[in-house]
């Protein structure tokens, strides 16, 4: 078990100005930001190759005021973006952190393109739940893995190797919680002690720690975990050991559209553009447009904890724009139905109920009926079939949104709001901007803070080190 070791007299094998734990999006961007400041940086990763929660996601980064938005005349700014976030979470997130994340979002994407060879597209064919304008940016391949691979390439071009297969077992600190260094464990059992002037925790949340999930998010204790298994809460526990405050530990991103048993994420774009979810009785049970995060709970409440995504050829073609969906099709997760009767038999429902559910959609679309769950079908096209398409899905926990309290410099805070001298946090290690529960998660909040606060942590850590060196020179 990882731990904090205080006040011991230790000789480090090497010492570097900035250390980063975790090579997901937050850690890789933190590295690039600190390295660009002319400071030596070392980044360590538990796995054999970088991935993190980002690699399992769709890789969509919400950002405002970008050149891609301007190119299609999308008007967006920090105030609009912040308002969307706070409306979704019922103003439960820290205003200053929300504003900081939004203000950095576009700036960081431009920096990644101009300085580090990254590529982004703006998704403008549909709006994700809760966003008032088109602001979802993505790697051209539209996968989180492609985003991570591209960031790793940028790090490698900087001439620095990522130390992979290196598990941080201990954090060394002074009696006053000033960070002195870390101990890493290699696969062969050997250890190495590495000193530092500042430390960035970018090793994500605690979704892979069942005891912590049971404690902080009991409603998801038995749900599928669709995040990185390395998210075991180490950063949070190190922070607690150092006297840091934790905030909003019940917040998380869920998702109501993970194909089973295949374990593939099915894009929510299909729901936003007209798709529906039916339970095994052939009935709708929710407003699919309220958000895919809280939809995780609604799906898990259905018989057997499953639902079916149902849609038509038009929406199937939309899905094919996403690499993950194409993979799901190849793996047999996407089912094709030649008739309503065949669809009903496959999901185990009566043909009458299933037919009624589909006919209701057409009535909602023309205003003849009103959806009992409040969804506005007039904004999308009705499902036209046959044929129909369907995917058996369940609700899942993606990643946690609670974590270490941080300020607008990404410094970790104590319970009295004073900052720990040289400890920074970003991504899942730090508290997010999603409020206190599942319903506050606005699409893309995870990568928003990973990208914005990863950049902030790297910049702040490098600036602190350079400032300290000037004082002592």
pLDDT in tens, 98-140: 999 999 999 999 999 999 999 999 999 888 889 999 999 999 9
Give residue 54's pLDDT band: very low, low, confident or very high (50, 70, 90): confident
CB–CB of 182/194 below 8 Å? yes
> Is the pLDDT assigned to residue 389 strictly greater than 70?
yes
pLDDT in tens, 131-163: 999 999 999 988 889 999 999 999 999 888 789
The two tokens of residue 237 are: 């526990």
Mean per-residue pLDDT, 79-90: 97
> Is the pLDDT assigned to residue 180 strictly greater than 90?
yes
Range of the domain at 137: 3-250+402-472
Q: Is the pTM of this model over 0.75?
A: yes
Closest CA relative to residue 445, chosen from 74, 61, 120? 61
**Could you tell me what percent of the chain has a pLDDT over 90?**
82
- CATH number of the domain encompassing residue 380: 3.90.700.10
Give residue 181's pLDDT band: very low, low, confident or very high (50, 70, 90): very high
Give residue 411's pLDDT band: very low, low, confident or very high (50, 70, 90): very high
Provide CB contacts within 8 A for 473, sequence distance 6+: none
Measured CA distances, 82 to 52, 59, 61, 242, 386 (Å) = 26, 20, 15, 31, 42
CB–CB of 44/163 below 8 Å? yes
pLDDT in tens, 198-222: 999 998 799 999 999 999 999 999 9
Which of 349, 371, 397 is the C-terminal boundary of a domain? 397
pLDDT in tens, 281-339: 999 999 999 888 999 999 999 999 999 999 999 999 999 988 889 999 999 999 999 99
Which of 380, 397, 414 is the C-terminal boundary of a domain? 397
Same domain, 308 and 208: no
> Is the pLDDT assigned to residue 400 strictly greater than 90?
yes
d(CA 142, CA 399): 19
Same domain, 193 and 285: no
The two tokens of residue 377 are: 């079908």
How confident is the prediction for the chain on average, in pLDDT?
93
Peptide bond into 156 cis (omega under 30): no
pLDDT in tens, 244-291: 999 999 999 999 999 999 988 899 999 999 999 999 999 999 999 988
> Is the pLDDT assigned to residue 1 strictly greater than 70?
no
Same domain, 57 and 205: yes
CB–CB of 21/168 below 8 Å? yes
Residue 59 backbone class (left: φ over 0; alpha: ψ -120 to 50; beta: rest): left
**Could you tell me what percent of the chain has a pLDDT over 70?**
99
Instruction: Determine the straight-line distance between the first and last CA of the chain, rounded to whole angstroms.
Output: 39
Peptide bond into 387 cis (omega under 30): yes
Same domain, 212 and 274: no
Measured CA distances, 21 to 152, 183, 339 (Å) = 15, 11, 53
pLDDT at 55: 77
Same domain, 224 and 146: yes
Give the side-chain half-sphere CA count within 13 A for 239. 35
Same domain, 76 and 106: yes
Measured CA distances, 206 to 59, 130, 398 (Å) = 20, 26, 10
Which of 397, 420, 436 is the C-terminal boundary of a domain? 397
Same domain, 328 and 453: no
Mean per-residue pLDDT, 166-182: 94
The two tokens of residue 286 are: 């929710």
Mean per-residue pLDDT, 465-473: 73
Same domain, 179 and 318: no
Q: Which residues on neighbouring strands pair with residue 403, listed in sequence order?
A: 247
- CATH number of the domain encompassing residue 115: 3.50.50.60
Same domain, 260 and 325: yes
pLDDT at 472: 63
d(CA 316, CA 456): 39
Give residue 470's pLDDT band: very low, low, confident or very high (50, 70, 90): low
Q: What is the DSSP letter of 208?
A: T
pLDDT at 126: 81
Q: What is the DSSP letter of 418?
A: P
Q: Is 376 helix (H, G, I), strand (E, B) or coil?
A: coil
């Amino acid at each position: 078990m990882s731990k904090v070791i205080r006040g011991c007299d230790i000789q480090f094998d090497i010492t570097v100005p900035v250390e980063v734990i975790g090579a997901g999006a937050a850690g890789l961007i933190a590295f690039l930001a600190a390295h660009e400041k002319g400071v030596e940086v070392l980044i360590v990763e538990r796995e054999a190759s970088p991935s993190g929660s980002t690699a399992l996601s769709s890789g969509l980064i919400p950002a405002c005021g970008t050149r891609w938005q301007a190119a299609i005349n999308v008007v967006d700014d920090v105030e609009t973006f912040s308002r969307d976030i706070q409306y979704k979470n019922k103003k439960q997130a820290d205003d200053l952190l929300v504003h900081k994340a939004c203000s950095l979002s576009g700036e960081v994407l431009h920096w990644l393109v101009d300085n580090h060879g990254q590529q982004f597209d703006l998704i403008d064919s549909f709006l994700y739940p809760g966003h008032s304008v088109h602001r979802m940016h993505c790697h051209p391949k539209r996968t989180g893995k492609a985003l991570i691979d591209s960031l790793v390439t940028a790090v490698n071009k900087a001439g620095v190797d990522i130390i992979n297969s290196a598990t941080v077992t201990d954090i060394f600190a002074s009696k006053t919680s000033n960070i002195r260094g870390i101990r890493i464990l290699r696969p062969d059992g050997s250890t190495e002690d590495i000193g530092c002037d500042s430390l960035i925790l970018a090793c994500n949340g605690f979704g892979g720690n069942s005891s912590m999930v049971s404690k902080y998010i009991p409603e998801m204790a038995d749900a599928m975990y669709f995040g990185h298994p390395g998210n075991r809460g180490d950063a949070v526990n190190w922070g607690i050991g150092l006297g840091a405050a934790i905030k909003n530990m019940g917040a998380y991103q869920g998702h109501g559209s993970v194909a089973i048993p295949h374990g593939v994420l099915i894009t929510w774009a299909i729901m936003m553009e007209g798709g529906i979810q039916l339970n095994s009785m052939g009935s709708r049970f929710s407003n699919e447009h309220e958000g895919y995060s809280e939809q995780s709970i609604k799906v898990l409440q259905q018989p057997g904890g499953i639902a079916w995504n149902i849609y038509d050829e038009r929406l199937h073609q939309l899905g094919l724009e996403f690499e993950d969906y194409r993979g799901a099709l190849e793996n047999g997760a996407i089912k094709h139905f030649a008739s309503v009767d065949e669809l009903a038999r496959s999901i185990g429902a009566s043909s009458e109920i299933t037919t009624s559910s589909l006919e209701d959609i057409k009535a909602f679309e023309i205003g003849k009926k009103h959806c009992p769950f409040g969804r506005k079908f007039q904004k999308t096209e009705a499902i036209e079939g046959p044929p129909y398409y369907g995917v058996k899905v369940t609700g899942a926990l993606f990643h946690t949104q609670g974590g270490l309290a941080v300020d607008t410099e990404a410094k970790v805070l104590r319970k009295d709001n004073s900052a720990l001298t040289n400890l920074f946090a970003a991504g899942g290690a730090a508290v997010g901007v999603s409020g206190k529960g599942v319903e506050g998660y606005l699409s893309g909040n995870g990568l928003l803070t990973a990208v914005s606060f990863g950049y902030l942590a790297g910049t702040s850590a490098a600036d602190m080190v350079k400032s300290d060196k000037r004082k002592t020179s």
